[in-house]
Structure 1
Amino acid sequence: MATMDLRADIREFLSSRRARIAPEQAGLPAYGGNRRVKGLRREEVALLAGVSVDYYVRMERGSLAGASDGVLDALASALQLDEAERDHLFHLARQSGAPSGPRRRRPAVKVRSTLRQVLDAISDAPAWICNGRYDVLAMNELARALFSPVLADPRRPANTARFVYLAPEAARDFFVDYDQVAGDVAAKLRMEAGRNPHDEELIALVGELSTRSELFRQRWASQDVRLHRSGRKRMHHPIVGRLDLDVETLGLPAEPGLHLTVYTAPAGTPTADNLALLASWAATQQTLPTEFDARNG
């Protein structure tokens, strides 16, 4: 993929959200038994959003430049967008109004020593720092042990999106809910593309995954988006077996675009016992560093 086509992304996102809403879901009468359009018609979206049909057609053709926050809010309501989808719409609008620019490579991110100290201080829970492309930038010892299947690929920085889509057999063995994880990864990458459509490394990653994974092509084409949120991850670790982990993902305000993720389990549960066993095993293993995790960096 040489570049992100912003107009195509806008067109496909709006048309896909429109197609999933039946008229009765929007409180509109469905005249006639045979509608040629799946979901709402463009004129129905325009009516719900309080804009002219011509204006909505221009937006769905890929032009969100100049759309006010009020219009975008009305459009989000008309299309029944959730929080992530609404944020994505606003990101697309901002990019549509920005001067077009070439792809750009961001300078390599170095995780600050104080953040490394935070990771190391979290001794009883796996914790790591990653960016919006799923590059793993720093991990504590327990996270290295937990994600040893991901780190088995020598390519650095380790990237969990590549693991999910380009090592599907290993990923299916590791993630109990593989299909959900695969969908979330593609949706979060789509969200990142809306924020940073000229990011050269993101473009290269999406291109690589699209070329090598039919499943990724399908998930990417769905136009689904997700926010980084808390939740539950169920894993099957090759050493300690089943782990049902609570996941908290926090943005780092001083490091825009980076996220700290911590995996925990309630005390006294089988997963907590298995985490303790994993920590004992990790103490006997050679460290598998990420590219950005060298202590002399």
Structure 2
Amino acid sequence: MEIAKDIRDFLMTRRAKVTPQQVGLPAAGRRRVAGLRREEVARLAGVSTEYYIQVERGRVAGVSDEVLHAIARALLLDEAETTHLFDLARATTAKPRRRRSARQSVPDTVQALLDAMVTAPAVVQNGHLDLLAANALGRAVYGDVFERSSGATPNLARFIFLDDHAEQTFPDWNRAADDAVALLRVEAARSPYSPAVTGLIGELATRSEQFRTRWAAHDVRAHRRGSKHFHHRMVGDLTLRYEALEISADAGLTIIAYTAEPDSPAQEALLLLASWTAPEFDATGNRHHESTLPSPADD
């Protein structure tokens, strides 16, 4: 990552989104730039124009938290954007560390929790969108992602931007693509020297124009709750609500659990999938195998 460039581009793109009217400034006269001028941001943040220009150029060493918060308020940054600004500022002083490339593992207790959720699809992903674990229903909902992965660990961003089936799996592809890039932006600032993160971003930027366009927008967002649209080859379209639950004992790992609206077609579809995929247990309570989905040709 080029941290100074990322700070500059992030602040410039945020500045371009804010109109003078939004922050109580007059909009009279011809304006050569979209959004706010640098001197207007500086005035709103209570710093000199020269000082703000240095910050926007990525020279943030020694800049106080109070000033960063003031700039965030001036630019009307939301919580995710403010956190991202602070992550970028911290990244300028972070030292590269040698990282082990070993695959992240999901604790057995977390996998047991996933398996106990027999009517709710659930997956575990890391910050750069590797799908590291799933319960049976989660694996069914994300079936194409797991089945079509060319590597040992499926990666959601790689599937969305590089696999021809992505638009079938995610009918609202543009939203899925925007979300994936926004989450990768967050992770890139948190882990600027991670080979897994920088390698994935480099691969996607090289191979996908859609990714490059979105990456240049510098959008970030939190991923706590919302809804997601899937298309499953056996049960059709699914609109599911999700909750993102961070695994506190394992930094960077998050459980994404899905539910359907009660009495909705999506709930009926999930129950049908659950009947096909629910694990079976022996008399001692040990799981010994899972049912498999019927072939699309089956009656």
TM-score, normalised relative to structure 1: 0.90
Tell me, in whole angstroms, the C-alpha distance in 2 between the residues paired with 1:217 and 1:240. Answer: 33
Tell me, in whole angstroms, the C-alpha distance in 2 between the residues paired with 1:76 and 1:105. Answer: 35
Tell me the equivalent position of 1:48: 44
Tell me the equivalent position of 1:250: 245
Would you say the 8 A contact 2:114–2:135 is kept in 1? yes
Instruction: Quote how far apart the aligned CAs of 1:23 are.
Output: 1.6
Tell me, in whole angstroms, the C-alpha distance in 1 between the residues paired with 2:264 and 2:76. Answer: 39
Tell me, in whole angstroms, the C-alpha distance in 1 between the residues paired with 2:173 and 2:135. Answer: 24
Tell me the equivalent position of 2:106: 111
Tell me the equivalent position of 1:201: 196
Return closer, same or farther for 1:142/1:281 CA change in 2, 3 Å cut-off. Answer: same
Tell me the equivalent position of 1:60: 56
Q: Larger deviation: 270-279 or 40-49?
A: 270-279
Partner SS, residue 256 of structure 2: strand
Task: Verify: 1:12 aligned to 2:19, yes or no.
Answer: no
Tell me the equivalent position of 1:142: 137
Task: Verify: 1:216 aligned to 2:194, yes or no.
Answer: no
Would you say the 8 A contact 1:164–1:171 is kept in 2? yes
Partner SS, residue 134 of structure 1: coil
Tell me, in whole angstroms, the C-alpha distance in 2 between the residues paired with 1:62 and 1:6. Answer: 7
Amino acid at match of 1:144: R
Return closer, same or farther for 1:150/1:101 CA change in 2, 3 Å cut-off. Answer: same
Tell me, in whole angstroms, the C-alpha distance in 1 between the residues paired with 2:16 and 2:273. Answer: 47
Structure 2: segments with no counterpart, 5+ residues? 278-289, 294-299
Tell me the equivalent position of 1:25: 22
Would you say the 8 A contact 1:66–1:97 is kept in 2? no
Instruction: Quote how far apart the aligned CAs of 1:106 are.
Output: 4.8
Tell me, in whole angstroms, the C-alpha distance in 1 between the residues paired with 2:192 and 2:22. Answer: 33
Amino acid at match of 1:212: R
Tell me, in whole angstroms, the C-alpha distance in 2 between the residues paired with 1:258 and 1:270. Answer: 31
Instruction: Quote how far apart the aligned CAs of 1:40 are.
Output: 1.0
Instruction: Quote how far apart the aligned CAs of 1:173 are.
Output: 1.1
Deviations 1:94-116 (A, max 9, x none): 11233x42674454321111111
Q: Percent identity?
A: 49
Task: Verify: 1:159 aligned to 2:155, yes or no.
Answer: yes
Tell me, in whole angstroms, the C-alpha distance in 2 between the residues paired with 1:109 and 1:274. Answer: 32
Counterpart pick for 1:88 among 84, 89, 104: 84
Tell me, in whole angstroms, the C-alpha distance in 2 between the residues paired with 1:60 and 1:230. Answer: 32
Would you say the 8 A contact 1:64–1:97 is kept in 2? no
Tell me, in whole angstroms, the C-alpha distance in 2 between the residues paired with 1:220 and 1:102. Answer: 25
Partner SS, residue 81 of structure 2: helix
Runs of 4+ in 1 over 4 A off after TM superposition: none
CA RMSD in angstroms comes to 1.5
Amino acid at match of 2:134: M
Deviations 1:206-261 (A, max 9, x none): 01111111000001000000111111112111111111111111111111111001
Would you say the 8 A contact 2:141–2:230 is kept in 1? no
Task: Verify: 1:121 aligned to 2:116, yes or no.
Answer: yes
Tell me, in whole angstroms, the C-alpha distance in 1 between the residues paired with 2:291 and 2:152. Answer: 23
Would you say the 8 A contact 1:103–1:200 is kept in 2? no
Tell me, in whole angstroms, the C-alpha distance in 2 between the residues paired with 1:280 and 1:26. Answer: 54
Tell me, in whole angstroms, the C-alpha distance in 1 between the residues paired with 2:274 and 2:28. Answer: 63
Amino acid at match of 1:218: T
Partner SS, residue 90 of structure 1: helix
Would you say the 8 A contact 1:229–1:248 is kept in 2? yes
Counterpart pick for 1:70 among 66, 72, 94: 66
Amino acid at match of 1:16: T
Partner SS, residue 66 of structure 1: coil
Q: How many residues align?
A: 280
Structure 1: segments with no counterpart, 5+ residues? 287-297
